[in-house]
Amino acid sequence: MVHTYKEALHWIHSRLRLGIKPGIKRMEWMLARLGNPEKNLRVIHIGGTNGKGSTVAYLRSILNEADYQVGTFTSPYIEQFNERISVNGKPVANEEITSLVNIIKPIAEELAQTELGPATEFEVITTMAFYYFSEIQQVDFALFEVGLGGRYDSTNVIRPIASIITNVGMDHMQILGNTLEEIAYQKAGIIKQGIPIFTTAQDKGVLFVLKKEAIRQKAPFYQIGKEFQIKEYHPIENGEQFTYQSQWGSYDHINVSLLGRHQTENAAAALAVLTYLQFKGLLNIREEAYRNGLREAFWPGRLERLNDRPMIFIDGAHNLQGLQAFKEAVETHFPEKEIKIVFSALKDKDLTEMFTILHSMNAELYLTEFDFPRAASTDELELQSGGKAIYCDKDWKNLIQKLVLSVKETDILAITGSLYFISEIKPYLKDMIRLRKESSSLDV
């Protein structure tokens, strides 16, 4: 038994040493011991390479505007661990984490004595989320983001009311496969018998794999550009605007506050699912709730603006697709701005191609490193960059402080790369922004 939140987190994180163990048998075993709480939930399942978190944010925000209670299970966290299990955007309380661990821990210890072996950290957290939304803080809808892949992911024990696969790109190749089609096969594993699947994927090979699985599962298949569409897109001062069209409903001039054209695709996927479910009589949402929900949706660490003058952004562009979306958003919204970019990433990413994107931007590039087992060192990053970085500093705190305190008010400072990096630096970055503001007021 654990007695404090600190002890609970220590027990959860101690399971990181078990690594990633694909498969759902351990999940099924633990959930059966708990009475299968996942079967009591109305779940929307969200998979894909990029855009999962933002899509969850749109879904939750719209449903909240319509007065539904919504649980979300996401990863990784940006500021605090508890974010991973939230209700209506509010993270689970510390004492609730402690209580959940005391419920799950004996079951996990029993599981470890079976031929299935011990549960991983992610399996434990996923089980906690199912139990919490079903038995402790009951919700109208639960939104579960896939952790890795889909087919053998811990979340794939559910029978959802709808599933979403966002775009599919080259990421986690050491686990999911070396081609888009192989990765798409893993993502397609969340497609269930007779359950509608919605996708924003556009690659022909990916779509072939997803459609093939949907046919095999007799699952209705709805894709962007066909059954639901984006029309009349254009960037606006603080976000994006587009018109949504589908057979279940259409809305002109929808505004979203998250930056980047790719966010209109994530928003369209959320609209498609919810308008479909409304058409089927599973929920009731007014047009005003759709509009307000999309406009007010927020997702930390995704082109998140922390300051206006100068503009300071953080963005978890942790792979090629994410970095390309970052580039397009910055160049679309701020074509005349001087830009400074701080970048750090994991060593198992396609760094050569990521630097190709960074070097194509008209920006000053700064490299640093952070404390994480798979993080690339500054030396490794500089080597992969071809020595084209403006400045390298192993001490990210020193680099962040220098840049925040010296950047011109008319310029942009963007910190991007690994979500783990963004998570680590965000509190310190906010402190430096506060220090800059205090220094400015003293100067006056």
Q: Is residue 284 domain-shared with residue 310, that is, in the same domain?
A: no
Indicate whether 316 and 431 sit together in one domain.
Answer: yes
Kindly report, residue by residue over 236-283, the tens digit of the pLDDT. 988 999 999 999 999 999 999 999 999 999 999 999 999 999 999 999
* Mean pLDDT, residues 400-410 taken together: 95
* C-beta separation of 52 from 58 below 8 A: no
Q: What local confidence, expressed as pLDDT, does residue 20 receive? A: 80
pLDDT exceeds cutoff 90 at 350: no
Phi, psi of 264 (to 5 degrees): -70, -30
> Are residues 214 and 292 part of one domain?
yes
Does residue 427 register a pLDDT over 80? yes
- Angstrom distance (rounded) from CA 87 to CA 142: 9
pLDDT category, 349, cuts 50, 70, 90? Answer: confident
Closest CA to 340 of 375, 321, 364: 364
What CATH number corresponds to the domain at position 398?
A: 3.90.190.20
Cis peptide leading into residue 91 (ω within 30°):
no
User: Would you say 184 and 151 are in contact if contact means Cβ atoms under 8 Å apart?
Assistant: no
* Confidence check: pLDDT of 389 > 90: no
Residues 256 and 344 in one domain: no
How confident is the model at residue 38, as a pLDDT?
98
Structural domain of residue 316, as residue ranges?
304-442
Residues 55 and 165 in one domain: yes
Same domain for 315 and 341? yes
Say whether both 292 and 358 belong to one domain: no
Per-residue pLDDT tens over the stretch 309-333: 999 999 999 888 999 999 999 999 9
The proportion of the chain whose per-residue pLDDT surpasses 70, expressed as a percent, equals: 98
Between these two residues, 186 and 444, which has the higher pLDDT value?
186
Which of these three, 268, 296, 324, is where a domain ends?
296
Our count of domains for the chain comes to 2
Same domain, 169 and 33: yes
Per-residue pLDDT band for 16 (boundaries 50, 70, 90) equals: confident
On whether both 136 and 215 belong to a single domain, the answer is yes
Same domain (yes/no): 114, 236: yes
pLDDT in tens, 40-51: 999 999 999 989
Q: Measured between alpha carbons, how far is 435 from 431 in angstroms, rounded to an integer?
A: 6
Same domain assignment for residues 247 and 325: no
List Cα–Cα distances, 407 to 270, 304, 359, in angstroms. 37, 18, 20
Q: What is the pTM of this model?
A: 0.93
DSSP state of 354: H
Parallel, antiparallel or unpaired: strands 251-256 and 239-246: antiparallel
Domain CATH code at residue 136: 3.40.1190.10
Whether residue 120 sits in one domain with residue 92: yes
At which of 296, 315, 342 does a domain end? 296
Last-in-domain residue among 277, 296, 315:
296
Please give the share of the chain, as a percent, with pLDDT higher than 90.
86
pLDDT reading at 388 higher than 80: no
